Amino acid sequence: MSHGSPTSILLNIGHAMDHWILVVFAYSWGVIAGVWGVEWTELTPFNYGALFMFGAGSIVSGRLGDLWGRWVMMVIFFVGMGVSALIIALCTNKWQIGAALTLMGAFASIYHPVGIPMLVQKAKNPGFTIGVNGLAGNMGIAIAAGASVYIAQRFGWQAAFILPGLICLICAVAFVMLVPREEMAPAKRAAKMNDLPPAVMARVFAIMTFTAVTGSIVFNFTTNGNGELLSIRAKSIAEDPVMLATMLFVIFSLASLAQLVVGKMIDRYPLKNIYLPIVLLQVPLFLLASQVEGWTLFATAIGFMLLVFGAIPFTDAMIVKYIDDRMRSRVTGVRLAIGFGVSSFVVALIGPAVKDAGFPVLLMVLAGVAFSSFLALSLLPSEKDVHAVPVPPMKPAE
């Protein structure tokens, strides 16, 4: 699939919108708290439903993507994200917004198990394709982090949800008009499986599951917590909302570029040789971030986000390498459900945890989480253990 085709462009925009809308609340809850007369730490638990459904809903989304077809699920994704964002903008208290965010999380769960397998199923260079898609997704975070604070301050917090909601609805119309519908659902195609020994395959699944949890903890904490981290520990320079928005946009924009480089490397070198150093280098940077403030913290945040975002393409690359396309949506869904189901607690506890322990302690905990990922990834099989061979066609799934 060409990177410039309507399908590819809309799938990449979809990734951006998925992450944009998913983190708007985290970057505008300070403004919302001021309007509703509560502390921002009281609002963070109400983001739990969105992140839990983003993970848990992926099991259902992945299964439906394989059985119904990915085209129809992407249409549901765009419409659902657009409508739910507009519903969030109508909320008037924390319980309403918690319920509306949970609904949005259910639709957000569609993209990763459906959109990414749809994008890479005919890709000649899957690593770079995943890298470009990852860049798009994280630019969505960068736009949300940079724009949401400004829009919420200038035009009201509701506008921070209305804008991306309308963009999603426009994308839904464009997707129906420009993207051809697939002839057969993935689960009904003939299979081609990887000839891995059962013990090796079991090890791969165990590592993917463990790193899904640890990677999601690091990703969710940093993407949802960086705004408050800078506003508290770089207060002298980030007190102005416009400056804070600019700093966040710079951090996430620069970090997103790492995925293009990593994507290129995935197509040329063994996954394990690239993945291990990227995860290991997160450890000293999180430890450094726990001890510094001001501009030094800003520079360190750029460094650890480069590595956090740089690690994102590897899980999808592992699924492409080890999992047959007819099952990729379901496997991706299970991986996300486990990873985000556990890590969603992290985001819900950001406010209470910062209040009790402070950011330095939590950053040191992230260093430990990153190191545990490194230990698990060191057990991945080498490239010579992986051989894809065709097998006789299986009976189509019902």
Domains, in order of start, for the chain: 6-182+195-381 (1.20.1250.20)
Residue 171 has pLDDT above 70, yes or no: yes
- Sign (positive/negative) of CA torsion 57, 63, 68, 69? positive
Output the pLDDT for position 75: 96
Say how far apart CA 126 and CA 251 lie, in whole Å.
26
Among the residue ranges 81-90, 106-115, 250-259, the one predicted with the least confidence is 250-259
Residue 70 has pLDDT above 80, yes or no: yes
Could you tell me which of 217, 309, 327, 320 has the C-alpha nearest to residue 255?
309
- What's the average model confidence in pLDDT over 236-243? 77
Q: To the nearest whole number, what is the mean pLDDT of the chain?
A: 82
Confidence of residue 351 (pLDDT cuts 50, 70, 90): low
Output the pLDDT for position 101: 94
Residue 391 has pLDDT above 50, yes or no: no
Output the pLDDT for position 396: 44
Say how far apart CA 340 and CA 160 lie, in whole Å.
24
- Sorted by sequence, the CB contacts under 8 Å of residue 373 that are 6+ apart come out as 210, 211, 214, 215, 218, 279
Confidence of residue 9 (pLDDT cuts 50, 70, 90): very high
- What's the average model confidence in pLDDT over 54-59? 84
Output the pLDDT for position 194: 53
Residue 299 has pLDDT above 90, yes or no: yes
Output the pLDDT for position 317: 79
Q: What pTM does this model have?
A: 0.71
Output the pLDDT for position 20: 93
Confidence of residue 125 (pLDDT cuts 50, 70, 90): confident
Output the pLDDT for position 303: 94
Output the pLDDT for position 332: 76
Among the residue ranges 15-24, 99-108, 204-213, 344-353, the one predicted with the least confidence is 344-353
Residue 310 has pLDDT above 70, yes or no: yes
HEC profile of the chain: CCCCCHHHHHHHHHHHHHHHHHHHHHHHHHHHHHHHCCCHHHHHHHHHHHHHHHHHHHHHHHHHHHHHCHHHHHHHHHHHHHHHHHHHCCCCCHHHHHHHHHHHHHHHCCHHHHHHHHHHCCCCCHHHHHHHHHHHHHHHHHHHHHHHHHHHHHHCHHHHHHHHHHHHHHHHHHHHHHCCCCCCCHHHCCCEEECCCHHHHHHHHHHHHHHHHHHHHHHHHHHHHHHHHHHHHCHHHHCCHHHHHHHHHHHHHHHHCHHHHHHHHHCCCCHHHHHHHHHHCHHHHHHHHCCCCHHHHHHHHHHHHHHHHHCCHHHHHHHHHHCCHHHHHHHHHHHHHHHHHHHHHHHHCHHHHHHHCCHHHHHHHHHHHHHHHHHHHCCCCCHHHCCEEECCCCCCCC
Angle between helix 94-108 and 70-88 (nearest 10): 170
Output the pLDDT for position 274: 87
Query: What is the radius of gyration, based on Cα positions, of the chain?
Result: 20
Output the pLDDT for position 374: 94
Confidence of residue 2 (pLDDT cuts 50, 70, 90): low
- What's the average model confidence in pLDDT over 217-245? 80
Among the residue ranges 4-18, 228-242, 260-274, the one predicted with the least confidence is 228-242
Residue 395 has pLDDT above 70, yes or no: no
- What's the average model confidence in pLDDT over 123-151? 83
Residue 188 has pLDDT above 70, yes or no: no
Residue 46 has pLDDT above 90, yes or no: no
248, two tokens: 């966040």
Among the residue ranges 109-118, 152-161, 200-209, the one predicted with the least confidence is 200-209
Confidence of residue 18 (pLDDT cuts 50, 70, 90): very high
Confidence of residue 244 (pLDDT cuts 50, 70, 90): confident
- pLDDT tens readout for residues 250-289: 888 888 888 888 888 888 888 888 889 999 999 999 999 9
- What's the average model confidence in pLDDT over 368-373? 93
- What's the average model confidence in pLDDT over 333-353? 68
Residue 208 has pLDDT above 70, yes or no: yes
